[in-house]
Amino acid sequence: MPTKVIKDGTIVTADLTYKADVLVEDGKIIEIGQGLKGDETLDASGCYVMPGGIDPHTHLEMPFMGTYSSDDFESGTRAALAGGTTMVVDFALPNPGESLLDALKRWDNKSTSASCDYSFHMAVTWWGEQVFNEMETVVKERGINTFKHFLAYKGALMVNDDELYSSFMRLAELGATPMVHAENGDVVAELSAKLLAEGNTGPEAHAYSRPPQVEGEATNRAIMIADMAGAPLYVVHVSCEESHEAIRRAKMQGKRVWGEPLIQHLTLDESEYFNKDWDHAARRVMSPPFRNKQHQDSLWAGLGSGTLSVVATDHCAFTTEQKRYGVGDFTKIPNGTGGLEDRIPMLWTYGVGTGRLTMNEFVAVTSTNIAKILNCYPKKGAILVGADADIMVLDPEKEKTITADKQVSSIDYNVFEGKHVKGLPRYVLTRGMVAVMDGEMQEKQGHGKFVAREPNATVNKALSKWKELTAPQPIERSGIPATGV
């Protein structure tokens, strides 16, 4: 097979920074060293050579709130590659009562057009014997070891605490990791109804319907339930101090809990909803909503200190036309924003560029940490011999102003419109294939492959010993119990 050499760059991994060339053959990294030669040379002088980004939270062509999210696997994975992301993990979403395996078939069909590698999380949208049984097949035969639960979206995707506990128990048994969308759906439903009744129908009411407390409560609850079930826990889209605090405390107590802030919550705040025209605010309606600067500071601090582990996007794009389904009733505005294409340049600019993150921390939170949590490291998330050649070569001097006109993503606007970013991909390789060459797209539709992920005996266990300590002991009793005891 012809080889490619990425020459004269500085390799940046989650723990090392050093100058070396990287030799790629047949989709893999085959050598790292000085003065390497290949059939094709990619000049990386002045650039950083990093593991390609992994976005563990996307919703491509997702049926949601009466429509489908506007980026599918074709445009979504192209957008990912354009922005230096070489693997996405999407959520397979069974309809209530639907077989998990049937839902997976739908996601298999959708994803054939992917240009970069991908994996799935399974969503647990209902509970019953069938789900309990099929979970084993999903884990053991389909290579999916992460299962998401929605504590919000009452009457649609939401699961109750009894279902949550049963599901977590089952996942602990299978060595899989539960994930939660942590917002108290009952309270959100009450607040939304009250706001509408009071005549607050505009998009800003969305933010009032989901205050940080609904997130903090649900995060605490999910952590406690996971602990009782003996399962670890991954909390998606941590947007506020209340939820971050719960995760910090859990970690301190020896619980294996991870938190994932989104690039949107890190860089956009609640002022996007107020004194703005309807379209502007509605385009930014997502759950959880954007918060104030203090919450943002908490998230940045968590990434630096390691109490938060991963930066994702929850990429779930809707066009302006789709957003307008909610004119007159904010609860009908499809929830979601894009970000897949902008995550890496935005985090580099606002994280590394401002001194809030080191380059190594940047690699950890955009790629390596999640590869470990998902149990696909070092196939993904690494610059190591034997790893997949999913590589981003970032030119720290290359800059642009983000604008919807130039984006790959299928949306007619961009929530980061006008932001100036410095640090853009010069090359992006997906399993050895150059998908971005000198900033120009040359991806191949259908190149992407599904990444199977085994349960990991170590990672997929809770550290807390609650379950063992409280395992029922037979209680010795003597005498005749009193009536009613």
Interaction site with ligand DUC (CB under 6 A): 59, 181, 286-287, 314, 316, 335-336
Least distance between ligand DUC and beta carbon 160 (Å): 17
Distance between CA atoms of 402 and 397, rounded to whole angstroms?
16
Q: Which does 286 bind (CB under 5 to 8 A by kind): Zn ion, ligand DUC, none?
A: ligand DUC
Least distance between ligand DUC and beta carbon 230 (Å): 26
- The three-class DSSP label of residue 51 is strand
Q: Which is nearer to ligand DUC, 415 or 424 (CB)?
A: 415
Q: Which does 141 bind (CB under 5 to 8 A by kind): ligand DUC, Zn ion, none?
A: none
Sign of CA dihedral 434, 438, 442, 446: positive
Smallest Cα–Cα separation from 346: which of 118, 83, 145, 151? 83
Q: Which is nearer to ligand DUC, 179 or 382 (CB)?
A: 179
Burial annotation 66-82 (CB, 10 A radius, 16+ → b, else e): eebbbbbbbbbbbbbbb
Q: Which does 335 bind (CB under 5 to 8 A by kind): Zn ion, ligand DUC, none?
A: ligand DUC
C-beta nearest to Zn ion: residue:
181
* Count of alpha carbons within 13 angstroms of residue 445, beta-carbon side: 8
Is 190 among the residues that bind Zn ion (CB under 5 A)?
no
Helix or strand holding residue 12 (H, E): strand 10-12
Phi, psi of 404 (to 5 degrees): -60, -30
Q: Which is nearer to ligand DUC, 121 or 181 (CB)?
A: 181
Smallest Cα–Cα separation from 426: which of 393, 449, 460, 469? 393
Least distance between Zn ion and beta carbon 287 (Å): 6
Q: Which is nearer to ligand DUC, 13 or 75 (CB)?
A: 75
Q: Which is nearer to ligand DUC, 284 or 426 (CB)?
A: 284
Q: Which does 179 bind (CB under 5 to 8 A by kind): Zn ion, ligand DUC, none?
A: none
183's tokens: 């917002």
Is 181 among the residues that bind Zn ion (CB under 5 A)?
yes
Helix intervals (H) in 157-284? 161-174, 185-197, 204-208, 212-229, 241-252, 263-267, 278-283
Q: Which does 399 bind (CB under 5 to 8 A by kind): ligand DUC, Zn ion, none?
A: Zn ion
Q: Which does 272 bind (CB under 5 to 8 A by kind): ligand DUC, Zn ion, none?
A: none
Is 314 among the residues that bind Zn ion (CB under 5 A)?
yes
Smallest Cα–Cα separation from 124: which of 143, 100, 102? 100
Is 148 among the residues that bind Zn ion (CB under 5 A)?
no
Q: Which does 232 bind (CB under 5 to 8 A by kind): Zn ion, ligand DUC, none?
A: none
Is 149 among the residues that bind Zn ion (CB under 5 A)?
no
Which 3-state string (H, E, C) describes 271-306? HHHCCCCHHHHHHCCCCCCCCCHHHHHHHHHHHHHC
Q: Which is nearer to Zn ion, 24 or 104 (CB)?
A: 104
Q: x/- contact string, 256-295, with Zn ion (CB under 5 A)?
A: ----------------------------------------
Helix 212-229 vs helix 161-174: angle between axes, to the nearest 10 degrees? 50
Q: Which does 172 bind (CB under 5 to 8 A by kind): ligand DUC, Zn ion, none?
A: none
The residues that touch Zn ion, with contacts defined as CB under 5 A, are 181, 314, 399
